[in-house]
Amino acid sequence: MTTAPWQHRYAVIAELAKLYQDKSSWVLGKTALQKLTFFLQEVRGVELGYEYSLYSFGPFSSSLAADLDMADMMDVVDVKYDSSINGYEIFPGETDVSSGKTAKQWLKSVRKDVEAVFEQFGTFGTRQLELRATIAYVAKDAVLRGRTLTDDRLARIVQDLKPHFHYDMIGEALRQLRKEGFLPERAEEKPKSFIRRLNDRLLRG
Partner 1 sequence: MHDPNLASLSSGDRPRVLCWWRPYRRSEPRPPHALAFFRTPPNNSCFGVSSGQAAAPRAVNESPQKTLVTTKRYEIRCPIHGFIRLEPWEWDVIEHPVFQRLRRIRQLGWTDMLYPGAMHTRFEHSLGVMHTASEMFDAVWYRQKHVLEDLNFSEDIKPRDKMILRLATLLHDVGHSAFSHAGEGVMPVNPATKKPYKHEHYSAALIRTMMTDVIDDHPYHKAGFKVTAEEVAQFLEGDPEIGGPLMFWRQLASSQLDADRADYLLRDSYHIGVEYGKYDLRRLTVSLVVGTHETGDPVLAINQGGWHAAEALIIARYMMFTQVYLHKTRRIFDYHLNQVMRKLLAEEQAGEELFDKDAYPPPTSRENLEAYLDWTDWRVQGLLQEGRGGDHGDILRDRDHYRLLYETKDVASEQEAEQIKKLKESLGTIPCHLDDGVTSDWYKGDEILVTTDPDEVLRKRTQPLSAQSKIVDELREASMAQIRLYVRSADREPAEKIKKDFLAPKEKGAA
Of residues 14 and 158, the one with the C-beta less far from partner 1: 158
Pairing assessment for the beta strands 87-92 and 77-82 based on DSSP bridges: antiparallel
Q: From the CB of 143, what's the least distance to partner 1, in Å?
A: 10
Q: From the CB of 203, what's the least distance to partner 1, in Å?
A: 28
Site string for partner 1, 124-153 (x = CB under 8 A): --xx--x---x--xx--x--xx--------
Pairing assessment for the beta strands 53-55 and 58-60 based on DSSP bridges: antiparallel
Of residues 83 and 205, the one with the C-beta less far from partner 1: 83
Which residue among 63, 116, 184, 195 contacts partner 1 (CB under 8 A)? Answer: 63
Q: From the CB of 49, what's the least distance to partner 1, in Å?
A: 8
Of residues 42 and 92, the one with the C-beta less far from partner 1: 42
Site string for partner 1, 16-55 (x = CB under 8 A): -------------xxx---------------x---x-xxx
Rule CB under 8 A: say whether 205 interacts with partner 1.
no
Q: From the CB of 178, what's the least distance to partner 1, in Å?
A: 17
Residues 23-59 as b/e (b if ≥16 CB within 10 A, e otherwise) read eeeebbbebbbbbbbbbbbbbbebebbbebeeeeebb
Strands of the sheet with 28-29, listed across from one edge: 28-29, 87-92, 77-82
Among 114, 122, 130, 132, which Cα is nearest to 46's?
114
Between CA 149 and CA 136 the distance in angstroms is: 12
Which residue among 88, 167, 172, 184 contacts partner 1 (CB under 8 A)? Answer: 88
What separation in angstroms does the CA of 84 have from each of 81, 87, 88, 89, 128? 9, 8, 10, 11, 20
Task: For residue 205, give the amino acid letter.
Answer: G
Query: Is the backbone of residue 58 left (phi > 0), alpha (psi -120 to 50) or beta?
Result: left
Which positions lie near partner 1, rule CB under 8 A?
Answer: 6-7, 29-31, 47, 51, 53-58, 60, 62-63, 65-66, 69-70, 72-74, 81, 83, 86-88, 97, 100, 103, 126-127, 130, 134, 137-138, 141, 144-145, 157-158, 160-164
